[in-house]
Amino acid sequence: MHKYAFFGFFSPVNRIGLFFLINLLPLEGQDAFEPIDSELGTTTVVASEAPSLADYHPPGPGETIDGPELQRLARGTLGDTLGWQAGVNASFYGQGASRPVIRGFDGFRVRVLRDSVGTLDVSSSSPDHGIPVEPLLLREVEILRGPAALRFGNSALGGAVNSISRTFATERPDRQFAGAFESRFDSVSSGLTTAAHLDVTLGDFVLTLTGSHREANDYDLPGRARTSRYEARFNPIVNDPASGTTLPVPNPSGTLPNSHHDSDSHSIGLSWFPEAMPIEASLAWSNFRSDFGLPYLFGGDANDLFGFSSLTLEQDRLDFRLRYLPDLPWLTEATFHFGFGDYEHTESFTGRAKDVGLRFDDTFFDLQAWEARLDLVHEPTDWLRGVGGFQLWSHQLTPSRLAGAPDPSSRYANHFETSNLGVFLSEIVMLGEFELNAALRWEAQKIEDLSFANFGFTREVDETSFSAILGANWEREFIGPFERLQASFSTSFIERLPTETERFAFWTNPAIQRFLIGGDLDGVPLRNEQSVGLDLGFEAEVGEVDLFLNLFHYQIDRFTYLQDITGIGNQAEYTQTGACFRGLEAQGDWTIVENGERALKLALMGDWMRASDRHHDNPLPRIPPFRLGSRLAYTQGPLQAALEIRHVFHQSRIQPSGGIVQGELPTDGYTEINLDSTYQVDLNDAVRLTLFARIENLLNEDRRLHTSFLKDVAPLPGRNFSLGGRLEF
């Protein structure tokens, strides 16, 4: 792909881009360069005096990642970017598909948003479906764990991830041209990534342009692709018509076949910031395209079609935001968000061995979706503040698959139309050192299965849900050895409405090699999940040390999950059971030395969680193991260097085989060591060049994520050297 990818930063195309950007830069002596505030560059802004909506979340653990921290963490997918935050893991389906897993919850229970509305895709319905978000083009990422995410939907039982993109300006820059250009190279896949954004201020208007390109080959492995446990249990074989016998499927080493990833994105946005009126308005169009391979997973039958699958997705999206700042007691801010997405993806098959030369498109997904939300912030007194509003969304989903692949005449299509209305209110009462918090949300949802409408048969489900949180927060300064001590507590009752996939699925998912069966198809409809939860959090400052600890416990009735079963072929059914989730998240930050331009800081994190079927006390599948991580960072002037040591413990607490249950395999632990460094050069008062290098998985460890369907056939990449540069102005 890129024979000389190491020099991609200085390739002719990139040199042209740099020339264009540099010629737009302000001259020496213009506005001074301000601290970096996001992934691809610094935009010095005029701050708004309006309160932030983030101030009105229910009490609970939440954080915002931006600036240099987001720059350092950004990877090819959102899951990879956030996968080592305390309490946040990642799923993994190759380089192109990885979602956040929060407190052991994934899929439908983790709401992923872009600019405060949904990503308008199908990534929550299957782990092989990518998220149409480019992490290099994000301003910030907000992570809300547990019930604190209630404002974004009852479905977000595990939490929510709100990624703020650069498709439109959120504040007015203080100079005419502002932006950044970045290029990076990854050795593990000979991958080259470039991304850029530009804000042009024209009076009261700001024109925003973004673009990115990512290209990566199959990635290197530290050893064999498939584990010995997997080989022993499944014995992957393929029929050989020439000899009339079966042959073992080779176990790749050195490189994971069909693990490539290519993507492109671009957008144009226009924002209006009139000085004479307390309003802001933005409109943006964006396009995202991604093409990636799905690593091979044995289907269990030597006569099945044998080959590779790949997925190509594309989304066109329109976003609109209107913000009104009247500064009235009962309305200090009103923000309206709207997003429309036209999404489609194709899963294709390419044959090998006995099926060489065979190629066809197996699965199509088409989604027409829109979402709107209105947030109304009020602060009528010094002791009361809150936010209320509504959220409305609609999906028209049409999945289709070949019932008798590769025969194109066997294509079978479903069609679902889902609409949802949510109304929410969150209030905070401040009583000296105490804050009392209450949050309510009501939702009404309608699902129509129109798959057989031409034959006069339809089915529909109308349902409602109610959720509530009650919490308290106490904070005091200079108490005993603590400079600051804070404690928060909340109890919650959350109802989650099952989705159309959980209810009515009846199709093959080639990527996970399972035939999916909806929970309603046995004649007993799925009922609302009901969770009763307790969250307890502590924050403390002791000298140069900041400490954070969160504990959670959820009792869930009618927990809906995908249960592997044995039978004719691999099958998985959406079923319900009583479940219990509990765990803790901890983090500590210690400034060991800080003297002028020199600083030495140590960060520690850890998380632990357990999830069980309450009826049989069996572990639930794909639950993350215990993890510990550390980062020691040294800064001297423009240079920063850091060492990370992370350890993931062995996961032997697995769902057992028995009866119709297929069961899981244990996952070995590993130790990961990473090194990174950055060097910043101020070219003039308003231009900065940052050069960075990183070594990931220095020991070339075999790393497998227990959260992944592919953990036994596709480890994480081996040792990787990254090198790149970022020009900001």
Mean pLDDT of 73-100: 95
422 within 8 A of 441, measured Cβ to Cβ: yes
Class level of CATH domain 5-728: mainly beta
Q: Where are the domains of the chain?
A: 5-728
Query: Does the pLDDT of residue 601 top 90, yes or no?
Result: yes
Indicate if the pLDDT at residue 22 is higher than 60: no
Residue type, 603: A
CA dist list (Å): 492 to 86, 114, 444, 464, 471: 21, 26, 19, 18, 8
- Dihedral angle of Cα 92, 129, 563, 231, to the nearest 10 degrees: -50
* pLDDT value of position 146: 83
Which residues are bridge partners to 12 per DSSP?
none
Rounded CA-CA distance 50/341 in Å is 29
8-state DSSP, 542: E
Cβ contacts of 10 within 8 Å, gap of 6 or more = none
Percent of the chain with pLDDT over 90: 78
Residues 6+ apart with CB under 8 A from 299: 513, 569, 570
pLDDT higher than 60, residue 31: no
Decide if pLDDT at 299 tops 90.
Answer: no
Q: Which residue has the tokens 């101020």?
A: 682
Report which residue type is found at 349.
Answer: F
pLDDT, mean of residues 14-37: 36
Residues 624/609, Cβ–Cβ less than 8 Å:
yes
Check pLDDT > 80 for residue 52: no
Q: What amino acid occupies position 507?
A: W
Asked if pLDDT for residue 21 goes beyond 50, the answer is: no
CA distance 345 to 292: 11
Residue 523 backbone class (left: φ over 0; alpha: ψ -120 to 50; beta: rest): left
Backbone phi, then psi, for 2, in 5-degree steps? -120, 90
Calpha distance 357→355 (Å, rounded): 6
Q: Hey, what amino acid is at 554?
A: Y
Task: Give tens-digit pLDDT for 363-383.
Answer: 999 999 999 999 999 999 999
Residue range 302-352, pLDDT digits in tens: 988 999 999 999 999 999 999 999 988 899 999 999 999 999 999 999 999
**Token pair recorded at residue 347:** 């899963």
Query: Looking at the predicted structure, is the pLDDT value of residue 18 above 50?
Result: no
Sign, Cα dihedral of 501, 502, 505, 509: positive
3-state secondary structure of 250: coil
Contacts of residue 126, Cβ cutoff 8 Å, sequence gap at least 6? 509, 511, 512
Q: How far apart are CA 113 and CA 131, in angstroms?
A: 10
Q: CA-based angle 382:387:388, to the nearest 5? A: 140
- Burial (Cβ within 10 Å: 0-12, 13-18, ≥19) of residue 127: buried
Give one word for 44, left, alpha or beta, with left for phi > 0 and alpha for psi -120 to 50.
beta
The per-residue pLDDT for 36 is 33
SS3 label, residue 382: coil
3-state secondary structure 140-157: EEEEEEHHHHHHHCCCCC
395 pLDDT more than 50: yes
pLDDT digits (tens, 9 = 90+) for 407-420: 999 998 999 999 99
Look at residue 16 in the predicted model and tell me its pLDDT: 32
Please report which confidence band the pLDDT of residue 569 belongs to, taking 50, 70 and 90 as the band edges: low
Tokens of 688: 């900065």
- % of residues, the chain, pLDDT over 70: 91
Q: How many angstroms separate the Cα of 237 from the Cα of each of 32, 225, 297, 535, 593? A: 65, 15, 12, 48, 58
Which residue, chain included where needed, has tokens 């593990």? 188
pLDDT in tens, 469-491: 999 999 999 998 999 999 999 99
Report how far residue 108's alpha carbon sits from residue 546's, in angstroms, rounded to the nearest whole number.
33
Structure tokens, 691: 């050069």
Band of pLDDT at residue 54, cut at 50, 70 and 90: low
pLDDT per residue as tens digits for the range 617-638: 899 999 999 999 999 999 999 9
In this predicted model, what pLDDT tens digit does every residue of 126-141 receive, in sequence order?
Answer: 889 999 999 999 999 9
Q: Which residue has the higher pLDDT, 511 or 601?
A: 601
Peptide linkage before 406 cis (omega within 30 of 0): yes
Strands 571-595 and 529-542 come out as unpaired
- pLDDT for 256 equals 97
Output the CA torsion sign for 128, 616, 582, 492: positive
Query: Is it the case that residue 439 has pLDDT exceeding 90?
Result: yes
Q: How do residues 694-713 score in pLDDT, each as one tens digit?
A: 999 999 999 999 999 999 99
- Torsions phi, psi for 79 (to 5 deg): -60, -45
DSSP letter at 247? E
